[in-house]
Amino acid sequence: MMEIIRIPRIMQETSRHYITKSKKLGFVPTMGALHEGHLSLVRRAKDENDLVVVSIFLNPKQFGANEDLSYYPKPIESDIEKLQSINTDILFLPETSFIYPTNFCTYITVQNLSDKLCGPFRPGHFTGVTTVVCKLLNMVMPSRLYLGQKDYQQLLIIKRMVEDLNIPVEIIPCRTIREKDGLAMSSRNSYLKSKERLSATVIYKTLSYLSNLIVEKKIPCHEVKGKMKEMLLNEPLIEEIQYASIYDPETLDELDNYKKVNLLAVALKIGNTRLIDNMIVEINSVVV
Amino acid sequence: MMEIIRIPRIMQETSRHYITKSKKLGFVPTMGALHEGHLSLVRRAKDENDLVVVSIFLNPKQFGANEDLSYYPKPIESDIEKLQSINTDILFLPETSFIYPTNFCTYITVQNLSDKLCGPFRPGHFTGVTTVVCKLLNMVMPSRLYLGQKDYQQLLIIKRMVEDLNIPVEIIPCRTIREKDGLAMSSRNSYLKSKERLSATVIYKTLSYLSNLIVEKKIPCHEVKGKMKEMLLNEPLIEEIQYASIYDPETLDELDNYKKVNLLAVALKIGNTRLIDNMIVEINSVVV
């Protein structure tokens, strides 16, 4: 039976109880609107730990003034059913006022990495993410934190925060879960009208086509960006490409020359819906 | 026998070992140059917990470019002796490079409170303090954190950070320890030449004289600041008063009218030495 905890102090006491019994907690933070991507994290956390804690908290501090906070889907009853069906042990479901009391004024910023890729398009977003994740980690006190690689920049920034602040948790990056046609699962996919949904498949097609070209050494690094944009813009419903190129997976700087491990990453808008995706491309170091 | 730990990971593992045995750890973070103020915190932490951990780390991130980092006293051998003599269990003594590796880039800021009092005179100081204290708390994982009230603003800011970030620690504020003539103990008192040391006593005299006037209702709130500056400036070796007034002890805003609890606070320079002190003044609410 899944326990639902709504009060931060009770979450903390519950976790402390398990920790003193040497139980390992796996933790999956979410904003709800759960899809198979989230559920795969929960299943893995359940497998690898004594208990799995999932949080659902639609964090207002990671949404900009003109973003989709009020439209973001909130199917809480179906979320609860899904979590129950995969034997989640604890759902942490706090009210916003418990997470951000009126005099709240402490913020965590990971410099440099937060200014790259999505950073300029979502000012304050990553500070909102790192602040709430630090809070959640202090409330849940897990041994392991499960994060999806679909939000690659977020994963990298949280990794850096955890390392820089010596937060005692192990981060487990988990592969992106995709629809059958390759579209990365996202709660925001539900915004897409049917024609938009079809056109969104160009993202995965572009990333995997280019990954293959790169691995097969059929395209020089400096041509990747142009080719990527060309393929994406061929799809008429794509209105705005925010970024699309090849990056250093550690610094998020754009690359002029391949590294052993490279990051293809893209953010674009189809209609009003902002989609992101990425692919890690390892180049075989065998010299032909 | 006092254990000395220099490696963050080992500190964390040691603490985890005690926590799983349900031992309570008391923690006193310091920058070394230990005086009776520090030692009183250590004794109290020892009394109230199963073990006491003291850290000595001269945190470069809380010193400004023109401040006294390089001059700050570093009598590590006598510090170790003092800690041993009062049965400190663990001294955490990390190298700077272990606390701030080269790619370190995560900072914690408590907004508003950090901009008041010492804030404008020490840009970046409180971000340096909160960042390192959060790190130390994650490494030591204490049940209780002991802080002196002499650094009142620091205490208030750390309290807010701990509350805002849900850090699982209880903060124990401890009263300021003073020399016989009233000067608040500080590692920086050692900078004072003998004439300066004498003139520094005017700070305590001023604070206690005004406290008495306030409690006895012999001075209106709006006259406190003027009287305070007048008394301090009577002392010719005081070269610069950075601030000296009566403040709200929760918001640090200057007060026009007394509250039930009030804060007298001062920062000034004698020669090159910057000194701070404060006094909490509770007004008896009985109406005469």
Model pLDDT for residues B228-244, shown as the tens digit of each residue? 999 999 999 998 999 99
> What pLDDT is attached to residue B208?
97
pLDDT in tens, A248-262: 999 999 999 999 999
CB-based contact B135 A166, cutoff 8 Å = yes
Largest CA distance in chain B: 62
> What pLDDT is attached to residue B285?
54
Mutate to test the interface with A, among B18, B24, B102, B106 (most CBs of A within 10 A): B106
Q: Phi, psi (5° rounding) for residue B221?
A: -55, -45
pLDDT in tens, A126-146: 999 999 999 999 999 999 999
Interface contact A22, partner B, CB < 8 A: yes
> What pLDDT is attached to residue A288?
38
Q: Name every chain A residue with its beta carbon within 8 A of the beta carbon of B19.
A: 19-20
> What pLDDT is attached to residue A284?
77
CB-based contact A113 B105, cutoff 8 Å = yes
- Residues A247 and A255: beta-carbon distance below 8 Å: yes
The predicted model gives B17-22 an average pLDDT of 91
b or e along A209-238 (b: 16 or more beta carbons within 10 Å of the residue's beta carbon)?
A: ebbebbeeeebebeebbeebbebbeebebb
Cα distance between residue A124 and residue A92, in whole Å? 25
CA B111 to mean position of chain CA atoms: 18
CA distance A108 to chain B (A): 4
pLDDT in tens, A209-265: 999 999 999 999 999 999 999 999 999 999 899 999 999 999 999 999 999 999 999
> What pLDDT is attached to residue B268?
98
| Complex confidence, ipTM | 0.96
- Residues B116 and B153: beta-carbon distance below 8 Å: yes
**HEC sequence for chain A:** CCEEECCHHHHHHHHHHHHHCCCCEEEEEECCCCCHHHHHHHHHHHHHCCEEEEEECCCHHHCCCCCCCCCCCCCHHHHHHHHHHCCCCEEECCCHHHHCCCCCCEEEEECCHHHCCCHHHCCCHHHHHHHHHHHHHHHHCCCEEEEECCCHHHHHHHHHHHHHCCCCCEEEEECCCECCCCCECCHHHHHCCHHHHHHCHHHHHHHHHHHHHHHCCCCCHHHHHHHHHHHHHCCCCEEEEEEEEEECCCCCCECCCCCCEEEEEEEEEECCEEEEEEEEEECCCCCC
Q: In which residue are the tokens 């109406």 written?
A: B287
Interface contact A145, partner B, CB < 8 A: no
CB-based contact A19 B20, cutoff 8 Å = yes
Quick one: CA dihedral B225, B230, B232, B236, positive or negative? positive
CA distance A135 to chain B (A): 5
> What pLDDT is attached to residue B207?
98
> What pLDDT is attached to residue A286?
46
State yes or no: pLDDT of B122 exceeds 60.
yes
Confidence bin at B254 (pLDDT 50/70/90): very high
Kindly report the CATH number that applies to the domain delimited by A3-174.
Answer: 3.40.50.620
Q: Name every chain A residue with its beta carbon within 8 A of the beta carbon of B7.
A: none
Interface contact A221, partner B, CB < 8 A: no
The predicted model gives A73-86 an average pLDDT of 98
Q: Indicate the pairing of strand A25-30 with strand A106-110.
A: unpaired
Locate the domains of chain A by residue range. Answer: 3-174, 187-283
Residue B125 appears among annotated catalytic residues: no
Cα distance between residue A247 and residue B185, in whole Å? 53
Of B104, B111, B138, Cβ closest to residue A105: B111
State yes or no: pLDDT of A111 exceeds 60.
yes
- Residues A56 and A28: beta-carbon distance below 8 Å: no
> What pLDDT is attached to residue A239?
87
State yes or no: pLDDT of B129 exceeds 80.
yes
Report how many Cβ contacts below 8 Å link chain A to chain B: 80
Interface contact B166, partner A, CB < 8 A: yes
Average predicted confidence (pLDDT) for chain B: 96
CA distance B156 to chain A (A): 12
Quick one: CA dihedral B121, B169, A142, B99, positive or negative? positive
CA distance B250 to chain A (A): 11
Of A22, A106, A168, Cβ closest to residue B20: A22
Catalytic entry in B17, B35, B38, B222? B38
- Residues B45 and B27: beta-carbon distance below 8 Å: yes
Confidence bin at B286 (pLDDT 50/70/90): very low
User: Which candidate, B200, B217, B201, places its Cα nearest to that of B262?
Assistant: B217
| Architecture of the domain delimited by B187-283 | 2-Layer Sandwich (3.30)
Interface contact B185, partner A, CB < 8 A: no
The predicted model gives A19-23 an average pLDDT of 91
pLDDT in tens, B159-201: 999 999 999 999 999 999 999 999 999 999 999 999 999 999 9
User: Side chain identity at A13, as an amino acid letter?
Assistant: E
State yes or no: pLDDT of B142 exceeds 80.
yes
> What pLDDT is attached to residue A20?
87
pLDDT in tens, A155-201: 999 999 999 999 999 999 999 999 999 999 999 999 999 999 999 99
Confidence bin at B288 (pLDDT 50/70/90): very low
Residue B282 CA: distances (Å) to CA of B147, B173, B259: 21, 17, 8
Cα distance between residue B228 and residue B206, in whole Å? 6
CB-based contact A135 B106, cutoff 8 Å = no
